[in-house]
């Protein structure tokens, strides 16, 4: 019978030796073979049990409950696996929805607007972050003319209008990332065109001058949420967008370093 040492199982599965020892100690995954020298030997069946433990743990079951399930002689392992697959698929769907919601809220945040809960449901099917975002946005901008103007213009947008805003922002983000990868220089004609498009996405909602545009560019570096939003698409993109905007406004870009 082929067996594997605890170290080999750790390398194979990514479970630490310490965790494997703990699972052995509590009777959760006990190696079936012990050598005369006292070394543990894991069979293929033992490793399958370990993988079942990992599956159950991934959906939040406590170790004691997992042991009860695995030790039940009448348990239908295949039925349990089907159920865990369903739970994992549901988690994956929720995670994708959450990622999408964050992306959409960042688009709105970048434009200085607030989506209503109803608009969020229409556009991307979740209101998970509505209250937190709305409170912060209104606290920061609620007493400004720009905020009031953006709210008036936003209310005039229907579902199709919001879809156009989304498509426009996604296209601009992709083009900014492509320009950064291609080595486009801030202050060049191509970079200035991108800065103009960026400014136009904001002017859709309120009147916007070069000074405000530069202020927003500075926020992309000062607020790590903005930085992460851009850099998740292309490393260093937040700095690049900042420099493109600042150069287009006739300023000298600051280099992060």
The model's pLDDT over 205-256, given as tens digits with 9 standing for 90+, comes to: 766 677 778 888 888 888 787 788 888 888 999 999 999 999 988 754 444 4
What gap in Å lies between CA 187 and CA 248, rounded to an integer? Answer: 6
Who wins on pLDDT, 209 or 191? 191
Angle CA 37–38–42, to nearest 5: 120
* Highest mean pLDDT: which range of 102-111, 159-168, 235-244: 235-244
CATH of region 93-248, choose from 1.10.30.50, 1.10.490.50, 1.10.8.420, 3.40.50.970: 1.10.490.50
57-106 confidence digits (pLDDT tens): 776 677 888 888 888 877 777 777 777 777 677 666 656 655 666 666 66
**pTM for this model (two decimals):** 0.46
Give the helix/strand (H/E) hosting 194: helix 189-203
- State the Cα–Cα distance between residues 78 and 138, nearest whole angstrom: 52
Inform me whether the pLDDT recorded for 115 exceeds 90.
no
Mean pLDDT throughout 194-202?
Answer: 87
| Over residues 167-182, mean pLDDT | 89
The confidence score (pLDDT) of residue 240 equals 94
| pLDDT value, residue 3 | 87
- Domain(s) labelled CATH 1.10.1660.10 in the chain stretch across 6-72
Segment 127-152 mean pLDDT:
49
pLDDT at 256: 44
pLDDT, position 119: 57
3-state secondary structure of 167: helix
User: pLDDT per residue over 4-62, tens digit each?
Assistant: 899 999 888 888 888 899 999 999 999 999 877 778 899 998 998 898 888 887 766 77
Query: pLDDT digits over 124-134, tens only?
Result: 443 333 334 44
Match domain 6-72 to its CATH number in 1.10.1660.10, 1.10.3450.40, 1.10.150.50, 3.40.50.12780: 1.10.1660.10
Residue range(s) of every CATH 1.10.490.50 domain in the chain:
93-248
Instruction: Give me the pLDDT at residue 120, please.
Output: 54
Residues 6 or more apart whose Cβ sits within 8 Å of residue 210: 248, 249, 250
Q: What is the mean pLDDT of the chain?
A: 75
The predicted structure's pLDDT at residue 252: 42
Predicted confidence (pLDDT) at residue 162 exceeds the cutoff of 90: no
Start-to-end Cα distance in the chain: 58
Residue 257 to residue 254: CA distance in whole angstroms: 9
């Amino acid at each position: 019978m082929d067996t594997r040492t605890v170290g080999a199982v750790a390398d194979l599965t990514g479970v630490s030796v310490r965790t494997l020892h703990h699972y052995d100690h509590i009777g959760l995954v006990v190696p079936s073979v012990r050598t005369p020298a006292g070394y543990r030997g894991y069979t293929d069946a033992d490793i399958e049990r370990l993988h079942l433990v990992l599956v159950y743990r991934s959906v939040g079951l406590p170790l004691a409950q997992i042991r009860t399930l695995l030790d039940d002689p009448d348990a239908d392992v295949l039925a349990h696996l089907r159920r865990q697959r369903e739970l994992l698929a549901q988690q994956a769907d929720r995670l994708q929805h959450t990622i999408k919601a964050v992306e959409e809220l960042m688009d709105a945040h970048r434009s200085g607007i607030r989506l209503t809960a109803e608009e969020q449901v229409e556009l991307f099917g979740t209101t998970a972050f509505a209250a937190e975002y709305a409170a912060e946005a209104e606290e920061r901008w609620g007493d400004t003319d720009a905020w009031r103007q953006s709210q008036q213009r936003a209310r005039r947008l229907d579902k199709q209008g919001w879809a156009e805003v989304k498509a426009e922002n996604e296209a601009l983000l992709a083009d900014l990332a492509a320009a950064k990868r291609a080595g486009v220089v801030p202050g060049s004609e191509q970079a200035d065109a991108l800065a103009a498009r960026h400014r136009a996405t904001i002017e859709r909602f309120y009147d916007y001058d070069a000074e405000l545009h530069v202020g927003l560019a500075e926020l992309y570096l000062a607020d790590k949420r903005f930085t992460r939003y851009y850099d998740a698409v292309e490393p260093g993109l937040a700095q690049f967008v900042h420099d493109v905007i600042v150069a287009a406004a006739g300023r000298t870009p600051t280099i992060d370093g």
